[in-house]
Structure formats: structure tokens, C-alpha cells
């Protein structure tokens, strides 16, 4: 598994073996089971997480117990709750394993130190933040302006590799519709 991270860091962050070794020297390797919680509402997020295998989700729970999925992170993606991590404040969100997962975790202080020691990592991290902000803005716009059918089509196109790995109720929650509505949309598209 560590070779997978090495390959990722070389290809996407353009790190050399020494820089990768430095990153791995302060990382914590963790295996979690499906439905294990890595962060719960009310806690302070203390880690940046890289998913070697499996999938995580970031979600928020309404007062009535309903869930709103905000983000799914499969293999070779990063997960954190940035506001809580950066401000050391309790989060409103949860991070949960959707599948059994193999992870690398970096404590905030260690990741900050790595970003100073490895400028390419800092630039890469800033690019991820910028890309996630743009994706979030696009998702808000689509939620306000697109039909349910268009949002569903966009989800399937954007996340073809994870669509079949997520229960339909989580997809419905991500799209902001009921499971009944999502089922109707899916059946209508099959008939087309």
C-alpha cells in the first residue's frame, strides 16, 4: 500500500524519494471498518487523511436525524474538515468510512511542518483547496438551477467510479432529494 502512496506522490505532487520518505515518517497508518467514524460533530478535526483503499464520506446531520452527504472520497483522494482543522473549532460534520478503508493520517502540526519543508506539497495542497472550492460553488449552483434529472446525470458522469459503491440513499442525500424521487428518476432514465 505504501508503494501506492509513493506512486501517487511522485505523479501528482512531483515529490522525490526523500520528500516522500519525510511525509511517510510522520504519517499514521490506520485501517478502519465500514461505518467507523473518524470525526463526529462536536469534535475538533486534527488530521488530513489520504485514502489508500476504500472510501470515506463527509456528511452533516439535521436536527430531525436526516443526513446530508457533502463529499465522497475514494482511493487516492484526501479528506478533512478544513474549517475545524484550521481554526481548531468543533465541527458540525462527520467523517465516516463508507467501506473498509486503509488510510494515512497527518496531524495538523506535522502537515504544516511538511508544507514548509516541501514547498511542492504546499502548492499542491493549495491547488486541492482551490479545486474543492470551485467544485462546491458549482454544486451549489447546480442545486439551485438544475433539475433533479440533470443533477443525477451530472453525479453519474462526475463520479462513475464510485456511483455503484454508494448506497442509493446516500446518493439521494448528496443530490438533496428523497430516495423515492431518486428511484423515480432512475426508472424514468432506464425507460429512455
pLDDT at 186: 84
pLDDT at 164: 86
Mean pLDDT (the chain) is 93
Does the domain spanning 2-119 belong to CATH 3.30.505.10?
A: no
Average pLDDT over residues 50-65: 95
The least confident of 15-29, 38-52, 157-171 is 157-171
Q: Quick one: CA dihedral 120, 110, 38, 104, positive or negative?
A: positive
| Domain ranges, ordered by start, for the chain | 2-119
User: What does the DSSP 8-state code read for residue 163?
Assistant: G
> Could you tell me if 100 and 1 are in contact, meaning their C-beta atoms sit under 8 angstroms apart?
no
> Could you tell me if 121 and 115 are in contact, meaning their C-beta atoms sit under 8 angstroms apart?
yes
Average pLDDT over residues 169-189: 89
Model confidence pLDDT, tens digit, residues 11-42: 999 999 999 999 999 999 999 999 999 999 99
Judge whether residue 192 has pLDDT over 80.
no
With cut-offs at 50, 70 and 90, classify the pLDDT of residue 160: confident
pLDDT at 54: 97
> Could you tell me if 150 and 142 are in contact, meaning their C-beta atoms sit under 8 angstroms apart?
yes
Amino acid at each position: 500500500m505504501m508503494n501506492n502512496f509513493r506512486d501517487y506522490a511522485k505523479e501528482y505532487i512531483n515529490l522525490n524519494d526523500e520528500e516522500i520518505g519525510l511525509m511517510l515518517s510522520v504519517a499514521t497508518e490506520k485501517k478502519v471498518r465500514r461505518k467507523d467514524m473518524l470525526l463526529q460533530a462536536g469534535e475538533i478535526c486534527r488530521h488530513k487523511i489520504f485514502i489508500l483503499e476504500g472510501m470515506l464520506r463527509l456528511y452533516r446531520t439535521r436536527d430531525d436525524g436526516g443526513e446530508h452527504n457533502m463529499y465522497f472520497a475514494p482511493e487516492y483522494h484526501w479528506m478533512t474538515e478544513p474549517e475545524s482543522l484550521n481554526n481548531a473549532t468543533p465541527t458540525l460534520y462527520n467523517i465516516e468510512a463508507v467501506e473498509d478503508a486503509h488510510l494515512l493520517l497527518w496531524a495538523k502540526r506535522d502537515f504544516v511542518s511538511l508544507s514548509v519543508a516541501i514547498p511542492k506539497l504546499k502548492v499542491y495542497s493549495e491547488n486541492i483547496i482551490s479545486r474543492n472550492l470551485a467544485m462546491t460553488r458549482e454544486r451549489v449552483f447546480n442545486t439551485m438551477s438544475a433539475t433533479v434529472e440533470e443533477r443525477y446525470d451530472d453525479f453519474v458522469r462526475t463520479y462513475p467510479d464510485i456511483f455503484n459503491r454508494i448506497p442509493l440513499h446516500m446518493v439521494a442525500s448528496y443530490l438533496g432529494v428523497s430516495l423515492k424521487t431518486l428511484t423515480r428518476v432512475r426508472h424514468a432514465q432506464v425507460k429512455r
